[in-house]
Chain A
């Protein structure tokens, strides 16, 4: 998943200090793998270079963690594009998708849209697999089925999430 886009998304709700960003990230997405400060700074400087964020102010006392970042219009567009782009269907992609959904909820975007787009992308893969299966031999069929079942599992998670969006919105905005 893209830490850059995630941090950008977190900035959309208002300018934040570096340590604020880390804390917000850990709280919402970090769970078992908290972000290192180093990751935050390197990411932020890359985003600064691309003009997606700007420095909003520096608190007295210096130190990189005292910098306050704000998202630029280009940054917002970038987040938008990222959210709208479905992930390539692959195993264990939930964490990215989850991030996207939560960010969408945080930024008051349509989270269901993200899921629909993803479903469509999954289905596209599944169609290709199904088609291959129909034309292939038994070995092909078995291989394709394996992939299909994994993709289906993703989609089940997706449907479940879609059905629980309202609850999730409540949880993340608390």
Chain B
């Protein structure tokens, strides 16, 4: 498969094994700016591994990942980290907020990693928290807020650097449906208005319904449903 024109992030023939377990076996992927793509599939199918490879967290054993014309495979760990800091945002299922830091400090963290001053970072953080309707939680610690609020804080943190791709791995996995949908609404709205692409790993159809299209991963192989039809 050749990279579709205008694609922001493209992966071809990804292969990744953890020991004897093959997680990815020729997976493909592509996403355009501003697009929300759901990655679906049964558990153990390799969805999360695909996300980790796409985000440059895990280097694939073989295959290519091109982000914005640059090949990720050729980058050093430090370069990939820098890329993640500045171009990507992340939301995970749980356990991602630093329990000791206040919510606003958590949101400001990626900016501070990029060298922004503390004051500026926290100001920007508060702006995003306002958009996600959690600006009143600024001084609280993650342990003192509800799961839905915590996840919104996490979304604010993912978006605070103005990333071009947001990777969300089961972002609503630990939430009830009402909270989950609200988080999805806020995430996709914010991402679309910022023209950021969202890679959304989920096994829930109603969460996937917030995407523009979906990709199904099964036994380490991906299937792009739009192209198949």
Contact = CB atoms under 8 A, between A and B. Distances in A.
Direct contact of A and B (CB under 8 A): yes
B228 interface: yes
A17 interface: no
Interface stretch (A8-16, A54-62, A116-124): A116-124
Contact of B218 (A112, A122, A127): A112
Contact of B205 (A117, A123, A134, A162): A123
Nearest to A156: B205
A26 interface: no
29 contacts: A116-B216, A116-B223, A116-B228, A117-B225, A117-B229, A119-B40, A119-B205, A119-B214, A119-B216, A120-B225, A120-B226, A120-B228, A123-B205, A123-B208, A123-B211, A123-B225, A126-B208, A126-B209, A127-B211, A130-B209, A130-B210, A134-B185, A152-B204, A152-B206, A155-B205, A156-B205, A159-B203, A162-B42, A163-B42
Interface of B: 38, 40, 42, 185, 203-206, 208-212, 214, 216, 218, 223, 225-226, 228-229
Contacts, number: 52
| Prevailing SS type, chain A contact patch | helix
Interface in A136-159: 148, 151-152, 155-156, 159
Nearest to A153: B205
A125 to B, nearest CB: 9
Interface in A46-101: none
Nearest to B208: A123
A127 B225 CA distance: 14
A15 to B, nearest CB: 33
Range for the number of chain A residues in contact with chain B: 20 to 34
A102 interface: no
Contacts of A117: 225, 228-229
Contact of B209 (A116, A127, A156, A162): A127
Contacts of A152: 204-206
Interface of A: 112, 116-117, 119-120, 122-123, 126-127, 129-130, 134, 148, 151-152, 155-156, 159, 162-163
Given A119-B40, A162-B42, A126 B228 contact: no
